[in-house]
Chains A and B, each alone.
Chain A
Amino acid sequence: MIEVTNIFKSFDDNQVLKGVSATFEKGDTSMIIGSSGSGKTVFLKCLLGLFIPDEGDICYDGRHYSKMTTDEKINLRKEIGMVFQSGALFDSSTIEDNIMFPLKMFTKQSKEEMLERVNFVLARVNLKNVNKKFPGELSGGMQKRVAIARAIVMNPKYLFCDEPNSGLDPNTAIVIDNLIQEITDEYQMITIINSHDMNSVMEIGEKIIFLKDGLKAWEGSYKTIFKTDNKAVTDFVYSSDMFKKVREIYNKLD
């Protein structure tokens, strides 16, 4: 479990996080949503250890980040997989080398063992015959799959995704969402996704945290988000006509 307790984060005079608390459970796909500037990226970067909160604490399965030594922090990072919005694949390396990199860096596996693991994770994200290709030769959806494969190659306990569907067509986005959820169930990871894509929220939002102006404004799931009276959430969710109609249908059903 990841427990976030009352974290604050400022940049100069701009207070971005104003005391956010949350818990994330093993096997759950949790989503952090909110409009641009709400603090969700800063929140995710605090969880990743890229930003150190000014106040508050983050606890990873009983290990308090603020009390960890540098070596312990490095070891924690080996338990983290991250899927970036851009994919962040190493563009001068082949797909095989991209995925193999963490194995080369942190394990003592033989080349054959590493290759076997690379092929396994590539198969898991439904990619074939791409080992020797470079990221620039793949489509956006395929690059996201490679990013997921690289993120899970070390069997992480925690998977973080920053807008994994950004720039993808709706069909591919759903495939990526479902893939993330399947992998989370299969490996019993704690998965936290940063998104403002309502389709993803409806698809895999088992737990949803809504941030507004650096505060947690609401917490629920895709089952409850359409029923909430929280104005901040309704303003965000029903900003499109499609979801306004969905709400009408929900209300009629009720």
Chain B
Amino acid sequence: MLGHVFKKPQKGSIFYESLFKEIEELGLKSLGIVAFISFFVGGVVAIQTAINVDNPMIPKYLIGFATKRSIILEFAPTFMSVILAGKVGSYISSSIGTMRVTEQIDALEIMGVNALNYLVLPKIFASVLFFPFIVLLGMFLGIFGGWAAGYATGLFTSDDYIIGIREDFQPHLIRYSLIKTMVFAFVIATIPSFYGYYVKGGSLEVGKASTQAVVWTSVVIIILNYFLTQMMIG
């Protein structure tokens, strides 16, 4: 499948048109849910940390530090990718699957269009290029959500939190996180495309393929997360 996907697009202008459409569908339309979840999960992480390190021996700035690290290292790249696997993965597999069962893919092939390249390559490029920005936004809003939770609950002060998020800042962790995101983005675009493209039957099978695609994409993300973490910072 990937051999056909990674061929030169038959027409550059159509590829770029599809790419921007996919950036809108897969990326921009995911911003709302990402922002919402990031903000509140960031808040919850900060509250949980504050409650669990409620010890006079432990400095309060560790709440901000722990929230920042949790969000940058795992929550933003991995948790967000699993959420995107659900939202974007089901969209990809059901849209391609519907095109398959309604003969739209056959129509493309009969016209002489490389359907895999035309349908899947823009999705891969859109995901790999745009998801890192989504994750960066998730990081920012998650950390901001932690600060807002402290402000709202009074569990820690704003100054302590800001000292914590500035403490031991390591840029390579952001790089690690974004590389992970790009690998996950590739998985999110390809596994659901595979399930959608090769579906047989009708709408029920498209639904089943969509579910399987989300499950397997999530499993592969979690497994890859383990190996990437061990390889890059283990």
Check A84–B107 contact: CB distance below 8 A: yes
Interface 9-residue window, one of B46-54, B109-117, B167-175 = B109-117
Q: Is the Cβ of B103 less than 8 Å from the Cβ of A78?
A: no
| A11 within 8 A of partner (CB) | no
Q: Mark A22-64, 1 if CB is under 8 A from B, else 0.
A: 0000000000000000000000000011100000000000000
A interface, over-half SS: mixed
Answer whether residue B24 sits at the interface, using C-beta atoms and an 8 A cutoff: no
Inter-chain contacts of A80 with B (CB < 8 A): 110
B102 within 8 A of A: yes
B103 to chain A, nearest CB (A): 4
* Chain A residues with CB below 8 A from B203, complex form: none
Question: Is B102 in contact with A102, judged by CB distance below 8 angstroms?
Answer: no
Q: CA–CA, A50 to B110, complex, Å?
A: 8
Closest approach, in angstroms, between the C-beta of A163 and any C-beta of chain B? 12
Contact across chains for B110 and A48 when beta carbons are under 8 A apart:
yes
Distance between B145 CB and nearest chain A CB, rounded to angstroms: 35
B157 within 8 A of A: no
A105 x B10 contact (CB < 8 A): yes
Residues of A within 8 A of B11 (CB): 104-106
| A105 and B110 contact, CB distance less than 8 A | no
Q: Is the CB of B159 closer than 8 A to any CB of chain A?
A: no
| B103-A50 in contact (CB<8A) | no
- Residues of B within 8 Å of A85, CB to CB, are 103
**A222 CA / B107 CA spacing, docked (Å):** 30
Interface residues of B in 102-135 (CB under 8 A from A): 102-104, 106-107, 109-113
CB atoms of B102 and A86 under 8 A apart:
yes
- The answer to whether B111 touches A88 (Cβ under 8 A) is no
Q: Interface code A65-107, partner B: CB below 8 Å = 1, 0 otherwise?
A: 0000000001111101010111011110000000001101110
Tell me the smallest distance from the CB of B72 to a CB of chain A, in Å: 37
Q: How far is the CB of A63 from chain B (nearest CB, A)?
A: 15
Asked if A88 meets B102 with Cβ closer than 8 Å, knowing A50-B109, A77-B112, A102-B111, the reply is: yes
| C-alpha gap A105/B14 in the complex (Å) | 7
Q: How far is the CA of A48 from the CA of B106 in the complex (A)?
A: 10
CA distance A80 to B107 in the complex (A): 11
Please indicate the chain A residues that have their CB under 8 angstroms from the CB of B14 in the complex.
Answer: 104-105
Q: Is the CB of A75 within 8 A of B102?
A: no
A50, B104: Cα distance in complex, Å: 13
Contact residues of B with A, CB < 8 Å?
A: 10-11, 13-14, 99, 102-104, 106-107, 109-113
19 more A-B residue pairs beyond the given contacts A77-B112, A88-B104, A91-B104, with a C-beta to C-beta distance below 8 A: A48-B110, A49-B110, A50-B106, A50-B109, A75-B112, A77-B109, A77-B111, A78-B112, A80-B110, A82-B106, A86-B103, A88-B102, A90-B104, A102-B111, A105-B10, A105-B11, A105-B14, A105-B113, A106-B111
Closest A-B pairs by Cβ, 8 of them = A77-B112, A88-B103, A88-B107, A74-B112, A82-B110, A84-B103, A78-B112, A88-B104
